[in-house]
Chains A and B, each alone.
Chain A
Amino acid sequence: MNLFDRRQFIKNSLGTGAALSLAHATGTALAAATTPPAKPAPLTKNSPGIIDTNVTLFQWPFRKLKYSETPALVAKLRQHHIIEAWAGSFEALLHKDIAGVNERLATECREQAPGFLRPFGTVNLAWADWEEDVRRCHEVHHMPGLRIYPGYQPFNLKHPGLAPLIAMVRERGLILQIVFQMEDPRVHHPLIKLETLDARPLIAPLQAAPGAKVQLLHFSGNVQGSDLQALMAETPAHLDLSRWEGNGAIGRMIGSAPSGSAARVPLERVFFGSHAPYFPVETAVLKLMESPLDRPQLNAIMQGNARRWLPPV
């Protein structure tokens, strides 16, 4: 028995059937056309919108991405019922003029999709006076949070500026997102050689700043799982699901897989994140279908947990 809204199911099934019949009827003419983007149904109690906490704007430095232009990306996200996207900037990876990076990000979000795109500026702990960038993000651009990219930005989590940064974002009520990976190191451009980011140095500064809102993006942890275990046991760090791989990954991580395996991450610490436009947004949304999740679990992951941290505009 399907447990989602029955009336909605029948409506969608009829739509599919009609489309299939049409495809048979018109044959090659339809076959030659590109599959039109499916329009999502209106939001209902059983189909809440999704808050995507891991989206990035502008140009990936190494390839022209399919949805690199902001209007196209916003349309694509909306097509999949994303109702809000926390957006960083690819410029943050390699640019030195951080103030310019943040200003462009704030402007792009405000002009292209105000209230939908929530700008997450950056600071680079390796550059002097990064504290001023925090101030501007908060006081000038009114950003809800910051996103840092250790590795691409030339520092790791042992950097002495990390604890003051965490303390500062806590004091200002900002969210701090720490990006653990942008792409598989095996396919890096030959000029890029990044050290593997060790998460364990995060534990002490997080313990020293109770109440700080810190989210790890695209985090897989080490093979043994010991760093994930330590972070979950000893800190309040939250995660996005964009890096979770393997059939039924979400269910296995939160302990709701058919195999009955124990939870590795408390449900309330999981945010939806797609890593679009580098990853197809479809992959993360389909994972919500792949794992057998109940309605409260879906609501928490799709928007409830993120909304607890950041109210709508």
Chain B
Amino acid sequence: MSPHDFHFNPADYGLPTRDELVAYRIWDSHFHGFYGAQNPIEQFHANQFYVERMGIERSISLEIGGTLAAPLTPSPYDDAIRQLLETHQDRLSGLTPIEPGFPDESCEKMEKWIRRGPCIGIKYVGGNKSGTTCRHPNNDPIIRLAAELNATIYIHTWLKIGGTPRLPGRDNLPGESTPADVAALAQRFPSVRFICGHSGGDWELGVRVIRPHKNIFLEFAGSDPHSGQVDYAVHELGVDRIVWGGHGPSRSYATEIGKVLDASLSRPDRIKILGGNFRGYAAPIFRQKGWKITL
């Protein structure tokens, strides 16, 4: 079965064809191809069917080196994944997860996987054993090193409703950052750019929090698709501050692309959100590594 075989023509249904999706130059800044499977390599290859079918130009994995559950503990698949990053360099990039409860070890990992390795940035995971969010001063040496390396910085954020009284963010896991935590960090490093991942889960609230901080991008994958959410984000933040994530394979590319297609945007603005903005963000480290990048 080829990923290019279709019995369904999306153009007949008011949607872009695969060729048009390819022309959007989609860069997936939130790729979970290696996450949550007994054999992450097999899962990656199985998911490539959908990467190809939906015309994704580049996938940026968030789990290179260790695992999201134990970022500082090497995974038995590290070598195989590193090899995949090299052989698929034209279509695959990686961020390495860090643990802000252990800044020294996190910086050592960044040296290994970014300065001397194939990764282009770091990921803050949605919770950690030390219970340290991205707001904590422990993060400062991590961010200073990331800035020196031109690394991209992706921070998982959520605002899960809970607690007594019930309020957004009170059901977050220990160490799971909120958009307010990202804002606090971004304020300490005004010349460094950050991605506020998942739009805080609750995008109406998350966007408000990061709105004043021009050095924060919004990424809105991994939560349900809500009609109007991208229109709202563009209205409040401007189209240049939004990056796209696919969150596959656990989320559908259809879901995440649908969020953008729902928005009343010009074609150039769609291209910015679906990949152009992230390419601009990642261009310095691509060039530093000697990799070709077309913005």
Interface residues of A (CB under 8 A from B): 1-5, 8-9, 12-13, 15-16, 20, 23, 30-35, 37-41, 44, 46-47, 50, 63, 65-67, 79-81, 183-188, 190-191, 193, 245-249, 258-259, 276-290, 292-295, 298
Contact = CB atoms under 8 A, between A and B. Distances in A.
A63 B232 CA distance: 12
B139 interface: no
Contacts of B123: none
Contacts of B5: 1-3, 292
Contacts of B255: 245, 283, 286-287
A217 B264 CA distance: 28
B130 to A, nearest CB: 23
Contacts of B49: 248, 258
Name the prevailing secondary structure of the B interface residues: loop
Name the prevailing secondary structure of the A interface residues: loop
Contacts of A15: 11
Most A CB contacts (10 A, CB to CB) among B159, B165, B254 go to: B254
Interface size class, chain B: 35 or more
B10 interface: yes
Interface in B225-241: 225-228, 231
B227 A12 contact: no
Contacts of B50: 247-248, 290
B267 A23 contact: yes
B14 A190 contact: no
B4 interface: yes
B47 A247 contact: yes
B148 interface: no
Given A35-B266, A246-B252, A290-B252, A184 B223 contact: yes
A40 B254 contact: no
B227 A278 contact: yes
B248 interface: yes
B252 A41 contact: no
B164 to A, nearest CB: 11
Contacts of B80: none
Given A2-B4, A13-B17, A286 B254 contact: yes
A13 B17 CA distance: 9
A39 to B, nearest CB: 7
A3 B223 CA distance: 33
A3 B7 contact: yes
Interface string B206-242: 0000000000000000011111100100000000000
A185 B158 CA distance: 13
The 7 closest A-B pairs by CB, nearest first: A283-B258, A280-B262, A286-B254, A47-B12, A66-B228, A12-B11, A282-B258
A272 to B, nearest CB: 11
Contacts of B20: 16
Contacts of A282: 15, 257-258, 261-262
Contacts of A249: 252
A41 B224 contact: no
Contacts of A2: 4-6, 9
Given A186-B202, A249-B252, 13 more contacts: A4-B9, A38-B14, A66-B262, A188-B161, A191-B166, A259-B46, A280-B227, A285-B15, A286-B253, A289-B6, A289-B8, A293-B8, A298-B8
Contacts of B268: 31
Contacts of B249: 246-248
Given A4-B9, A258-B1, A39 B14 contact: yes
15 contacts: A3-B6, A4-B8, A8-B12, A9-B9, A20-B23, A38-B15, A46-B7, A66-B262, A184-B224, A186-B201, A247-B253, A248-B50, A286-B254, A289-B18, A292-B3
A15 B14 CA distance: 12
Contact of A35 (B3, B160, B248, B265): B265
B207 to A, nearest CB: 13
Nearest to B166: A190
Nearest to B2: A1
Nearest to B167: A190
A193 B166 contact: yes
A168 B226 CA distance: 35
A279 B225 contact: yes
Contact of B225 (A40, A247, A259, A280): A280
A187 B161 CA distance: 6
